[in-house]
Every structure is written in structure tokens, then in C-alpha cells.
Chain A
């Protein structure tokens, strides 16, 4: 069974640009979670999508946004990039709400490392 995949593995942008990160969940999983792991700041919850809808959002400004596609893959967009957006962005997936019981265990992808210059 293929795990969670993320692309690209590395992304270099300059301040003010936009970044798009992609995530494909495990087959059969409908929930996707995004996290930011900045140096020294631990893992911060960004967004949770299930069945195409945003279910929960962390304490991040609106320039962090995303969406989930009908095939349950997801995109994270970061607009007007700032230097402090440099971080490892992790995606995780679980079985979703439609399965009856939302699974607790998150399965993580390898991450996208974003560097803002």
C-alpha cells in the first residue's frame, strides 16, 4: 500500500511569491491534515480537510489556504511569502468522517521543505 506522498520535496521561493504544495493521501483515506514545522517551533496544525471541505483551521493568517480535490488529494497555498514561512510542511491522512468513525492515527508524508529567500 502506497503511503502519503508530497510534492515537491524542496521548494525555493522569494519573499512575496506564492507557493503551492501538494499531498496525496493513502488510498481510501478521505481526511488530509497540513502541519508546519518551523525550526524551533515544533509542529503547528494548519488545516484539516475531509470530503472536500475545510473542517478545522489552526492559528495561521488567511494567506495560508488550501483545498481538497474529488480524489482527496490536497493543495496548500501560501501567498505573499514571508521569510518566517520557511519550514518543513507535513501532510497526514486518515480515514475520514464518511467511514463512520474518524480514525485517530495520522499517517504522515515525508514533507516539503520550503525555503523563502
Chain B
């Protein structure tokens, strides 16, 4: 069984300040982990993914995430927020090589203040 918990339903930051979106997971096997972003009324876009290579994963738009097995965490960070980063973010855990066994977190809404 697997599960994913996004620890904050809403995060608000000022433009130019760091972003931290937290995700903890549980899995009975070595999982793949993903972060997706969803802008209003749009589909989900892949930001980055971890699939057992380097534990620090760099994604698009300056985002990165670090896989920490000991803490079962996969937090998403960005050094400096832009207004265009305002969106909903989903952390996803998947059985490796099997998207059919994916579990989505409940999402974190990121607000960026000017």
C-alpha cells in the first residue's frame, strides 16, 4: 500500500521569497515520486520526478525537490517565487514503472503576493 500527504493545503509567499511545499509519503517498495502543477482550469503539468537516480531532482521553472528516504519526504522548493508560480501543486507516489498504481496528494495551493 502507498499513500502521500501534502502537509499544507495552502501556502502564501511574497514574490521573490523562497517556496517550500511539503510532501511525505509511505510505500512498501521503492517508489517513484512526482510533483505536478495545475494552473486554473488547466490540466496537470509535470514539474519533476524522482525514479531512483540522484536524490536531488531539478525540474522546470527553477523548482527542485529532494528525496529523503529516512524522512520519507519529497519536499518541493524554489529559491525565489514568481507571480506565475501561483497554482495548485500535487505530490504523487507511484509504484516504480507503473503509473497505473499512482496515488495523488490532496494538493497545495500556492499564492504569491506582490
Asked if A103 and B46 make an inter-chain contact with CB atoms under 8 angstroms apart, the answer reads no
Collect the chain B residues with CB atoms within 8 Å of residue A101's CB: 97
Interface size bucket, A side? 20 to 34
Given contacts A90-B43, A90-B44, A113-B41, contact A104 B104 (CB under 8 A): no
Which residues of chain A are within 8 angstroms of B107 by Cβ–Cβ distance? Answer: 42-43
Those of A91-109 within 8 Å (CB) of chain B: 92, 94, 101-109
Contacts of B97 in A (CB 8 A): 101-104
Q: How many Å lie between the Cα of A116 and that of B101 in the bound state?
A: 29
Confirm or deny: A14 has a beta carbon within 8 angstroms of a beta carbon on chain B. no
Q: Which residues of B contact A102 (CB under 8 A)?
A: 97-100
Query: What is the distance, in angstroms, from A60's C-beta to the closest C-beta of chain B?
Result: 15
Question: Looking at the complex, which one of A33, A35, A107, A111 makes contact with B46 (CB distance below 8 Å)?
Answer: A107
How close is B22's CB to chain A, nearest CB, in angstroms? Answer: 16
Complex-state Cα separation, A66 to B51, whole angstroms: 30
Main secondary structure of the interface of A (DSSP, over half): strand
Q: For chain B, which range describes its interface: under 10, 10 to 19, 20 to 34, or 35 or more residues?
A: 20 to 34
Question: What's the least CB distance linking B92 to chain A, in Å?
Answer: 8
Q: How far is the CB of B52 from chain A (nearest CB, A)?
A: 11
> A31 with B44: in contact, given A42-B107, A104-B32 (CB under 8 Å)?
no
Q: How far is the CA of A45 from the CA of B49 in the complex (A)?
A: 19
Docked-complex contact A104 and B43, CB < 8 angstroms: no
- What is the interface of chain B, defined by CB distance below 8 A to chain A? 32, 34, 36, 41-46, 49, 51, 90, 94, 96-107
A interface residues, Cβ below 8 angstroms from B? 4, 31, 33, 35, 42-43, 45, 48, 50, 55-56, 88, 90, 92, 94, 101-111, 113
